[in-house]
Structure 1
Amino acid sequence: MVAERSAQRLPRLALLLFCAAYVLPGLFGRDPWRNADLSAFGFMASIAQGSAPWWQPAIAGIPAEGGPLPYWVGAAAIQALPFADAAFAARLPYALMLVLVLVLVWYSSFHLARTDAAQPVAFAFGGEAQAVDYARSLADGALLALIASLGLLQLGHETTPELLQLLAVSLYLYGLAAAPYRPSKSRWAILGALPILAASGAPAVALALSLIGAWLCRRSRYLEVRSLTLWLLASGCLAAMSAWEFNAWAWRIKGELDLDQLLRTLNLLAWFCWPVWPMALWTLWRWRAHWQGRHILLPLIAALIPLLTSILMGGSDRALLLSLPALAVLASFALPTLQRGIAAAMDWFSVFFFSAWTLLFWLHYISMHLGVPRTPMTNLRRLGLGEEFEPRFSALALVLAVLATAAWIALVRWRTARHQHALWKSLVLPAGGVALCWLLIMTLLLPPLDFIRSNGPLVERLRAHLPQNANCVAAPDQSLATLASLQFQGRWRVDAQHSLQNTRCSHALQSNSQEIPSGWSVVAAVSRPSDKSGGFLVLKRP
């Protein structure tokens, strides 16, 4: 039973500020980070700059695996914004994808909460929550649960194919959830979601979602949902055709399923899906008598397929990412039944955990610019900054960080000063804490983090030994991220297809653990500032 006062919605301005504080930090002022973020940008830049065809993105001649659709999006953005930095231009449509994921999760939870089986029990003398108000309140909770998910924090802000896959899965979830109320929109959502998912590198997941979704629709009591069965099968056929045409089929199952691998996956699940996984389990327990209802069964199956895929892929966090929208929706249905003690524990854990991290970030920032206390900056230099890093001050970053910290203090005071009745109250502090920490990292600590995570310092060290007018630089057996840095940050022409014995390049780059081939001499040994061991050798033909 849910009282009318508990079904109040989160103020729209506050909800928009939550989303802005989560999406916008990290969009500006940074280089692509190793490894997947940088290599994906390299494929996009290769298309945009004409060094690789649209149909086959490649870095230094090494083709991309999976479908090319994610790289087309980034390349089109780079070409559409020639006046902007290429990395920022490629990142912009992916930020819009993250916004769409948040919107689709909100509407998926909203439509599922409107079904009869999901509605709370009416009071004997009235005063219960109205259906639409109840659905809005749960939808706000689902959005906050997704923002609070730790696994989405970094991967959701990268420029990688997995974010387009996440959008496709969210679109699929919305299509099935909204079918009884928005049949036309649902059909188009389903028809587009699975081909996009397959063309982004996850065709097997797309086919599994197609077949299981068709089974779910076939057994539904809603006529509009049953009519969606053929659309799901058609979408699955389009997904298979697009994967075949884009050569996106690949065998990614790693090894055999054993106890050690299962334990590693459970460990990944424990932190990656926090706090939605315990709330999802609570939902399954409290709604166990209604588990066949579409508001439980649909998100449950949509979460289990990526989870099974992650296990089969050896505990892949990027496969597990696709389960977060469904888990967030499932977690929202725990809110009406969440006991006060559990909610209080979540609140106080969030207050202490995120406040401690906030204090730590501010101490490192003060140490970086004022030198007091000395220990935090000393630890940063030991971790990888070295002596090359010079802190740079940004007044805008400082103002944003101060405002975010003040907003966190106000949020904590609001939540703990009096008893709140809104259903989503238990997720305000977890979501606010994640958004706060991400904003502080991307403002106060962005310069040192960018220095450590990007390949920019490596490229600057290489410039002293690799002439800009070299005919080309041979770099066989190097990672895609390193090749992308050489080609699109260093502006060298790179040959990664030929061995050092067969290349025509005048200079070369190889790992210092490899033997120096005959006919080459060592110019210098270069490493990233953050590398404690390993590095590269710059070679030249005598």
Structure 2
Amino acid sequence: MKPVRLPAAATIALPRWGIFALCLLYILPGLIGRDPWKGDDATSFGVMWTMAHGTISDWLWPHIVGLPMPDKGPLTYWLGAICIKLFGGIVGEPMAARLSTGIFFIIGSVSVWYATYLLGRRSEAQPLKLAFGGQPEPQDFGRTLADGALLIYLGCLGLLVRSHETSVETLQISLIAFCLYLCVRLLDGPKRRLVIQLGICLGLLTLTRGWVTPLSLIIGLGILCLYRQQTRQIKFILAALPVALILPALWLLAIRLVHPYDSTPFPAWMSWNYHQINWPSVESVSYFFKYSIWFAWPAWPFAGWAIYAWRRQEKALHISLPTMFFICFVVLSFLNPSSEESLLLPILPPLAILAAFGLPTMKRSAINAVDWFAVLVLTGTAGFIWLGWIAEQTGWPNKLSAKIVHLAPGFQPSFNPFVFAIALTATIAWFLLVYWRISRRPSVLWRAVVLSSGGVILCWLLLLSLWLPWINQRISYATVAKEVAQQLPAKDYCVEAYIGPSQRSSLAYFGNVHFAGFSDQNCEFLMLQHNRKQSEEPQLPSQYQLKQWQRIWSGHRAYDKDELLTLYRRKEQ
């Protein structure tokens, strides 16, 4: 028997303008007005920036001004570089690169919504018919579930930072969501057009983050069809495999014809793919369970309850398909020897969809518990953000103000009335939302997650509006890059650098530092990066002798006393 019994009043959809406003409030903070963040964000921007200012060889051989980056795939970099060339002169190159991130977010969000909508209006997902009628129409039920899935997706804590970075993972998670949507349509009614679309999507995934994920999805879909006794669909899924190979093959063919920099990234790219698979280890398994609890909040409690509530209809497509996607990515995270957050990102779209089907079956007490947890925790977080900003602006409370200054030395606070008005308006809207939820106690399905999603969006908006100048001061390499540029000639030089990719990208962009390329040798300058917790003095690579080099500069970001960059000049013979 189906576990859902609902009146039509519980399936009132969110207003379209409300969903649109929530998505804008979610994605715009963090895209506008910030410097590239240290890590994958600055690294990916460096590849995009190099492509946008380079030749066809730079587009085929991803690198950061001479530092090869053959891992993952080139598709994200291509799209970001196109945005830089089209819009870089208008909004600035970092912001232009992040326009591609906004497009990826829209693709992922729309895919999650439509996949849930199609699953929710299927006959096996419908609520039980009421004795005297009044049950919701299939379209209304599907639309309400889709709204809930989107709210859960936006509320996932792990998506928050990653969805605003110019990294490969932002496109990967969107393509996975779109692939899930295509699978819903393909398993519902196989068509040649859908097979081609699925193959193209898997090919794009291969060019985004390697062939391991697409191959595992093909295997998982085949197992799912056998489990659901849909053997006819297996041939359609396998037919998508040769289509998926076309796009990577075109990239490899172009590399073979152009032969950029007299080399090819293909062997290193294949090696990176092979290293994504190993035997499960205690570290990879423990990492998943340790971090996925907060990473996938609030999706996983609702998703777990959905699997339990629908346990007697486990073969229904709205349960079995997202569960298969989830299991597939869990297995891949176990098999991957490296423990990193990017391995947890693919689980979010299927979890959000599963969680939506848990909403109609949850008891009121559980829903109220989630709501009160969201109200207390997120209101407290927003209050602390406001208190910290007041301390930054006024110097009170004294201890908190001193801590803020210590974490970003040299930061000079400034008051922006426009930013303050936006933050204040968002805070007032949050309290109105809480009042509406508590006073009216609406029976609509998405009431259980609207506070969680709204609170997360509020905290993110406050952090990336009130605190954005402070964050830029703390994590940006802009000041360091200008110091390095002052030590270098205006032109006709190169720097051989042994530093991280994000540092290389930031110094090249902010300081216009000319790093050694693929063919540059015997550079006049040498730059090293080291951690002073490990050693007081940087260790030169074995091919260099210290007596041949003169240290001319050492520096670091204002707050980071451990990381040290050192610049040497070759002594005249």
- Same fold (TM > 0.5): yes
- Code of the residue aligned with 1:532 in structure 2: it is K
For residues 526 and 151 of structure 2, what CA distance do their matches in structure 1 show?
Answer: 52
For residues 362 and 461 of structure 1, what CA distance do their matches in structure 2 show?
Answer: 34
Q: After the TM superposition, which residues 179-218 of structure 1 pair with which residues of structure 2 at under 5 Å, given as runs?
A: 179=186, 180=188, 186-217=194-225
Shift of the alpha carbon at 1:415?
Answer: 0.7
Say whether residues 1:401 and 2:423 are aligned partners: yes
Shift of the alpha carbon at 1:334?
Answer: 0.3
Q: After the TM superposition, which residues 234-313 of structure 1 pair with which residues of structure 2 at under 5 Å, given as runs?
A: 234-238=242-246, 241=249, 247=266, 248-249=269-270, 250=272, 251-253=274-276, 257-313=280-336
Confirm or deny: 8 A CA contact 2:12 2:444 kept in the other structure. Answer: yes
Q: 2:554 is paired with a residue of what secondary structure?
A: strand
- Code of the residue aligned with 1:258 in structure 2: it is S
- Code of the residue aligned with 1:169 in structure 2: it is I
The corresponding residue for 1:54 is 59
For residues 437 and 11 of structure 2, what CA distance do their matches in structure 1 show?
Answer: 17
Say whether residues 1:72 and 2:114 are aligned partners: no
Confirm or deny: 8 A CA contact 1:44 1:75 kept in the other structure. Answer: yes
Confirm or deny: 8 A CA contact 2:485 2:513 kept in the other structure. Answer: no
Confirm or deny: 8 A CA contact 2:482 2:510 kept in the other structure. Answer: no
Relative distance call for 1:210 and 1:31 in structure 2 (3 A) is same
For residues 346 and 112 of structure 2, what CA distance do their matches in structure 1 show?
Answer: 12
Deviations along 1:29-85, one digit per CA (max 9) or x if unpaired, are: 111111111010010111111165211121132222232111110111111124231
Confirm or deny: 8 A CA contact 2:477 2:507 kept in the other structure. Answer: no
Relative distance call for 1:218 and 1:310 in structure 2 (3 A) is closer
Say whether residues 1:126 and 2:130 are aligned partners: no
Shift of the alpha carbon at 1:467?
Answer: 4.3
Deviations along 1:348-370, one digit per CA (max 9) or x if unpaired, are: 00001111111111111111122
Relative distance call for 1:58 and 1:261 in structure 2 (3 A) is closer
Say whether residues 1:514 and 2:539 are aligned partners: yes
- Code of the residue aligned with 1:56 in structure 2: it is W
Confirm or deny: 8 A CA contact 1:214 1:232 kept in the other structure. Answer: no
Relative distance call for 1:312 and 1:454 in structure 2 (3 A) is farther
The more displaced of 104-113 and 49-58 is 49-58
Relative distance call for 1:380 and 1:463 in structure 2 (3 A) is farther
For residues 242 and 78 of structure 2, what CA distance do their matches in structure 1 show?
Answer: 24
Q: 2:566 is paired with a residue of what secondary structure?
A: strand
Count of residue pairs the alignment pairs up: 537
Relative distance call for 1:37 and 1:269 in structure 2 (3 A) is same
The more displaced of 71-80 and 242-251 is 242-251
- Code of the residue aligned with 2:29 in structure 1: it is P
Q: 1:537 is paired with a residue of what secondary structure?
A: strand
Deviations along 1:174-207, one digit per CA (max 9) or x if unpaired, are: 1011333795764453132100100012311101
Contiguous gaps of at least 5 residues in structure 2? 254-264, 531-536
For residues 188 and 415 of structure 1, what CA distance do their matches in structure 2 show?
Answer: 45
Q: 1:524 is paired with a residue of what secondary structure?
A: strand
For residues 184 and 404 of structure 1, what CA distance do their matches in structure 2 show?
Answer: 47
Say whether residues 1:7 and 2:14 are aligned partners: no
Shift of the alpha carbon at 1:304?
Answer: 1.6
Relative distance call for 1:534 and 1:229 in structure 2 (3 A) is closer
Q: 2:567 is paired with a residue of what secondary structure?
A: strand
The corresponding residue for 1:526 is 555
Shift of the alpha carbon at 1:157?
Answer: 0.7
The more displaced of 488-497 and 167-176 is 488-497
Say whether residues 1:63 and 2:68 are aligned partners: yes
- Code of the residue aligned with 1:59 in structure 2: it is I
- Code of the residue aligned with 1:60 in structure 2: it is V
Give the alignment partner of residue 486 of structure 1, picking from 485, 490, 507. Answer: 507
- Code of the residue aligned with 2:32 in structure 1: it is F
Relative distance call for 1:358 and 1:40 in structure 2 (3 A) is same
For residues 395 and 218 of structure 2, what CA distance do their matches in structure 1 show?
Answer: 58
The corresponding residue for 2:25 is 21
The corresponding residue for 1:456 is 478
Confirm or deny: 8 A CA contact 2:195 2:237 kept in the other structure. Answer: no
Relative distance call for 1:108 and 1:255 in structure 2 (3 A) is closer
For residues 113 and 270 of structure 1, what CA distance do their matches in structure 2 show?
Answer: 26
Q: 1:200 is paired with a residue of what secondary structure?
A: helix
- Code of the residue aligned with 2:67 in structure 1: it is I
Shift of the alpha carbon at 1:281?
Answer: 0.9
Confirm or deny: 8 A CA contact 1:183 1:224 kept in the other structure. Answer: no
